[in-house]
Amino acid sequence: MTSVRSVTVSSGLSIDRVSGLINEARQVPSPNCDDRPEDAAIDLVVVHSISLPPAEFGGPWIDALFTNTLDPQLHPYFREIHRMRVSSHLLIRRDGELVQYVPLHRRAWHAGASCFAGRERCNDFSIGIELEGTDEDPYEVAQYQRLAAVIAVLEKVYPEVTRDRLAGHSDIAPGRKTDPGSAFEWARLEHELERIA
Ligand SMILES: [Zn+2]
């Protein structure tokens, strides 16, 4: 019901429509966001993967990257990326923990040059979800379950986010991006979504 401020689904997640925050997520506000274009409908979810340093899991470095506090001294790879001004709305860690960096109604900077169904600049109209992982390492069951829960609650608040409007970063930026990689099983996500429905 659109009049209800907070929308909850059986997945156990709820969205505060005013703040654009998922109540159950750990909040780590990122300055790397701005307003979406006026009247931009939110009708796409982009699935990404990230790990910092590459292929290492569990550290605090993704939070640091998205809050512009990544220390370039700590790893050669950090030296390459620490000046990037990027973010995503959400991150799902290996254990299923949900972290939010940007309110859902704001524009996060996750997609870069991109195109979905003939529309460019996917940041304008999408919600970006990072999975902690690599293109090759199998994602955890807890991550599929949490991702399905997030999509289920997003569908309630943003009815234009339908099942055919879920894309990988590699789908909207082919040739430039490969995440979430061959390790990501869309059929498995589908399965988890059906369990929630
Ligand atoms: Zn990506």
For every one of its 197 residues, what pLDDT tens digit does the chain have, with 9 covering 90 and above?
Answer: 445 677 766 678 999 999 999 999 999 999 999 999 998 899 999 999 999 999 999 999 999 999 999 999 999 999 999 999 999 999 999 999 999 999 999 999 999 999 999 999 999 999 999 999 999 999 999 999 999 999 999 999 999 999 999 999 999 999 999 999 999 999 999 999 999 87
Question: The CATH number of 6-196 is which of 3.10.20.80, 3.40.80.10, 3.30.750.24, 3.90.1580.10?
Answer: 3.40.80.10
| Residue 184 CB neighbours (<10 A) | 22
Neighbours of ion ligand 1 (CB under 5 A): 48, 169, 179
- pLDDT value at position 5? 75
Strand intervals (E) in the chain = 6-8, 14-16, 21-22, 26-27, 33-35, 44-50, 90-92, 98-100, 106-108, 115-116, 119-120, 126-132, 166-168
- The reported pLDDT for the residue numbered 10 is 67
Tell me the pTM. 0.95
| Confidence at residue 1, expressed as pLDDT on a 0 to 100 scale | 45
At residue 80, the pLDDT reads 97
Å from CA of 47 to ligand 1 middle:
7
Query: What was the pLDDT predicted at 9?
Result: 60
What φ, ψ does residue 80 adopt, rounded to 5°? -75, -30
190 in active site? no
Q: How far is the CA of 197 from the centre of ligand 1 (A)?
A: 27
Q: Tokens 């939010």: give the residue.
A: 100
**What's the gap in Å between 110 CA and the centre of ligand 1?**
6
Rounded Cα distance between 101 and 91, Å, is 8
Could you give the CA distance from residue 14 to residue 20 in angstroms, rounded to a whole number? 10
The rounded Å distance from CA 195 to ligand 1 centre is: 27
Separation of 107 CA from ligand 1 center, angstroms?
Answer: 15
pLDDT at 147: 98
Q: Which of 130, 140, 155, 192 is catalytic?
A: 130
